[in-house]
Amino acid sequence: MTTVELSGVSRWYGNVVAVNDVTMSLGPGVTGLLGPNGAGKTTLLHMMAGFLAPSRGTVTVDGAPVWRHPAIYRTLGLITEREAVPGFLTGAEFVLSSARLHKLPDPVAAARQAVEMVDLGDAQHRRVGTYSKGMKQRIRVAAALVHDPAVLLLDEPFNGMDPRQRLHMMEVLHQLGETGRTVLFSSHILEEVAQLSGTVQVIVAGRLAASGDYRTIRRLMTHRPHVFTIHSSDDRRLAVALLAKEPVVGVELDPAAGLTVRTSDYGTFTRALPAVAVAERIRVTRVLPADESLESVFSYLVAS
């Protein structure tokens, strides 16, 4: 059982703080590192992988620091987002070179097994330069898994994959988690994280915004106040009628922008709105959820 520990980790570039005082502990199983673009996920992953020194704090794998400690790669596999694959090698050669660089006792068998795991047996003797983006991603996974690492870190692993490849990759990661490996993958897509991992670490603007079971965080997200912008034949009357309803916590009238409604419960409100409109004989011409972007979900989590 291998644990990755981050303790008070910060990283700044000049005046810009990329990661701010993050403390977390990752154990066996699949963990999703979720956050909007630019939140600091990659910086955090690079620090966990020993490819960036924390400005403050420590990152350890089973108690051993990762920075300036290459021996850690015996237990750690890494797939960065932008790492390129030497195009002049075939897929099989690439994975085999990885096995040889790890000085495995039987590199040929290990490479064969890793290639089979990512289902690239048919294409393994083609040059990597001819691979599609998804295939390149898979051969990189094979190379990162060839030494059977206890910890696997993946930065946006599903980028560039088609749905079938995505599903297959999810199965691979799931299986690794089930068999006791510590798997951490980053993503800015909520659904990917929801499908793959029970545990999430949400990072927003460099800070750890939420951490723990996905369902708890999902509930927090669903129960946050929602804002709708509504256009109707009579905004003022609709505002009065809506205020009488339980889930509505605030309304705002703006002759130009229409009616802004704040509600504490998304589902109840969206069911109540048509009923109110019909009862009041008001024609609703437009309903826009105003804060549905992932960023707003994240910033709500930070504030809560």
Partner 1 sequence: MINLTIVRLTLRGLFGRRRFLLLLPLPALIVGLALLAESLGATPPDWGQPVLVGLGFAAVLPVLALIVGASVLGSEIDDGTAVHLLAKPLPRREIVLSKLLVAFVVTAVVVGAGMLLAGLIAGSAELALGLLAGTAVGALAYTALFLALSLLTRRPVLVGLAYILVWEGLLTNLLTGTRVLSIQQYAISVADRVSGTDLFTGALSPQVSLLMAAGVAVVATALAVDRLRSFALTGDTS
Binding residues (CB under 8 A) for partner 1: these are 13, 18, 37-43, 46, 49, 51-53, 68, 70-74, 76-78, 80-86, 88-89, 94, 97-98, 100-103, 143-144, 188
Q: Residue 287 CB: number of other CB atoms within 10 A?
A: 17
DSSP, collapsed to helix, strand or coil, labels residue 8 as strand
Q: Which is nearer to partner 1, 158 or 269 (by Cβ)?
A: 158
Least distance in angstroms from the C-beta of 77 to partner 1 = 8
Q: How far is the CB of 118 from partner 1 (least distance, A)?
A: 16
Angle (nearest 5°) at CA 19 between 221 and 25: 70
Q: In the bound complex, what is the minimum distance in angstroms from residue 46's beta carbon to partner 1?
A: 5
- Cβ neighbors of 288 (< 8 A, separation 6 or more) are 228, 229, 230
Residue 153 or 200 with smaller CB distance to partner 1? 153
Closer to partner 1 by Cβ: residue 79 or 259 = 79
Nearer to partner 1, 70 or 255 (CB): 70
Positive or negative: CA dihedral 103, 91, 66, 53: positive
Give me the amino acid identity at 285: T
Q: Please give the Cα distance from 196 to 177 (Å, whole number).
A: 10
Q: What does 180-223 look like in DSSP terms, one character per residue?
A: T-EEEEEES-HHHHHHH-SEEEEEETTEEEEEEEHHHHHHHHHT
* Shortest separation between residue 24's beta carbon and partner 1, angstroms: 18
Q: Give the nearest distance from C-beta 72 to partner 1 in angstroms.
A: 7
DSSP 293: S
